[in-house]
Amino acid sequence: MLDVDRIRKDFPFTEREVNGTRVVFLDSAASSQKPTVVLDAMDSLYRTHYANVHRGVYSLSEESTTAYEGARRRIATFIGATSHRELIFVRNATEAINLVAHSWARANLQPGDAIVLTHMEHHANVVPWQILAAERDIEIRWVPLTPEFELDLTDLDTLLRDAKLFSFTAMSNVLGTINDVPALVAAGHAAGARVLVDACQSVPHLPTDVTAWGADFVAFSAHKMLGPTGIGGLWAPEALLDAMPPFMGGGDMISDVRVDGFVPNELPWKFEAGTPAFVEGVGWGAAVDYLDALGMANVRAHEQELTAYGIATLTDRLGDRIRIFGPTDPAKRGGAISFELESVHPHDVAQVLDEAAVCVRAGHHCAKPLMRLLGVSATARASSYIYNDEADFDALAAALVRAHDFFFGL
């Protein structure tokens, strides 16, 4: 288990107050806070080792390049990749999925082909495929949900029949639902489809082994796992990446350019055009070192225990005035708890909570198809991470009671 009091000392945001109260940060599913080691790693690179990477033969450039490529290797190891060549740095998980849609899908999908998504996808794993579908006349099929907010796999084999791609989230950013990735990958492959896993929510919170998953593509982001914004990752096996056409063209992604054409660079740089976010890459490397030191199994155990406490506390304090959207069994879900407070719009909930310095997300969480399915326009969502403890959920519950009283106690 985690020593949250000690962890909190590593995070400068814990000293921040809003309205004279310590900040209760429960929006890590949107983006996590950053520990000092991540900020220091980036600061140190900027101050003392900074020069563009992959360019100069002088010391500073070598130092930057070593720090950046060293981070890539550690992040690759962190997710269970067998080689750093399998890890493409992109801007975020959204760009990772768009890279697959532009490069692999445009080279491999024909009019009439089908893509299978699920009803719990983030817009990042919906809209790139809708753009492609409109362009190429491609069919999109949807795996429905059960009343328990899990994937309804009853007709999965039918949905996957002749599909070219199965793309799904490992953990829902709204419901918290954890999907059985290896089983879904196996089902997709059995049907002859390529499989993309949107692991943006799961990598920060669960031990990850992309090699054991056996998927074709895995997308994830740094900023939800203690790292900086502006960098994310696409993992794919080397043979698949080798066979794909480049995504964006420019510097760094070539090994030769002549007036009559170019030769792409080797992996992973083939997909990394232009000066990359290498300072952010180094920050991300420090973030995975920090998580490694805690141990991802401990991170998961902490979160499971805290989520159980959070759900129990909210239910206890608010009774039937609160409705939680997501599995009730903490073993089947992550730390994102979406809820509706009876007759109070989520946006108003978040506003009243802000007075108590409780930060929750209110809105559609970039999952409007799911919102429509749930019959709501928006939900409020409290999501925890390694720096949260029981007191944070006590503060949330107290603030929700106050919000309800504010609108109905007048």
Give the catalytic positions in this structure. Answer: 366
Q: How far is the CB of 402 from other proteins (least distance, A)?
A: 10
Name which of 243, 190, 247 is nearest 214 in CA terms. 190
Residue burial 231-255, b: 16+ Cβ < 10 Å; e: rest: bbbbbbbeeebeebebbeeeebbbe
Q: How far is the CB of 348 from other proteins (least distance, A)?
A: 5
With a CB cutoff of 8 Å and minimum separation 6, the contacts of 295 are none
- Closest to other proteins by CB, 239 vs 410, is 410
Q: Give the H/E segment covering residue 235.
A: strand 232-235
Q: How far is the CB of 123 from other proteins (least distance, A)?
A: 10
Q: How far apart are CA 70 and CA 50, in angstroms?
A: 15
How open is the CA angle 273-195-221, to the nearest 5 degrees?
45
Q: Which two tokens stand for residue 202?
A: 């799961």
Q: How far is the CB of 410 from other proteins (least distance, A)?
A: 7
- Closest to other proteins by CB, 163 vs 362, is 362
**What's the Cα-to-Cα distance from 310 to each of 9, 32, 380, 396, 400, rounded to whole Å?**
23, 18, 14, 9, 13
- Closest to other proteins by CB, 16 vs 245, is 16
**What's the Cα-to-Cα distance from 333 to each of 185, 271, 314, 336, rounded to whole Å?**
19, 34, 16, 8
Q: How far is the CB of 378 from other proteins (least distance, A)?
A: 4
- Closest to other proteins by CB, 49 vs 122, is 122
Query: Which residues, in sequence order, are bridge partners of residue 265?
Result: none
Q: Give the H/E segment covering residue 136.
A: helix 127-136
How open is the CA angle 385-388-392, to the nearest 5 degrees?
135
- Closest to other proteins by CB, 52 vs 351, is 351
- Closest to other proteins by CB, 20 vs 111, is 20
Q: Where are the alpha helices (DSSP H) in 276-325?
A: 278-294, 296-318
Q: How far apart are CA 316 and CA 311, in angstroms?
A: 8
- Closest to other proteins by CB, 59 vs 343, is 343
**What's the Cα-to-Cα distance from 364 to each of 5, 118, 369, 370, rounded to whole Å?**
32, 16, 9, 9
Q: Which residues bind other proteins (CB under 8 A)?
A: 19, 345-348, 351-352, 355, 362-364, 368, 371, 377-378, 406-407, 410
Q: How far apart are CA 346 and CA 350, in angstroms?
A: 6
Q: How far apart are CA 216 and CA 103, in angstroms?
A: 14
With a CB cutoff of 8 Å and minimum separation 6, the contacts of 256 are 262, 263
Q: How far is the CB of 148 from other proteins (least distance, A)?
A: 24
Q: How far apart are CA 403 and CA 401, in angstroms?
A: 5
Q: How far is the CB of 307 from other proteins (least distance, A)?
A: 25
Q: How far is the CB of 237 from other proteins (least distance, A)?
A: 36
- Closest to other proteins by CB, 311 vs 366, is 366
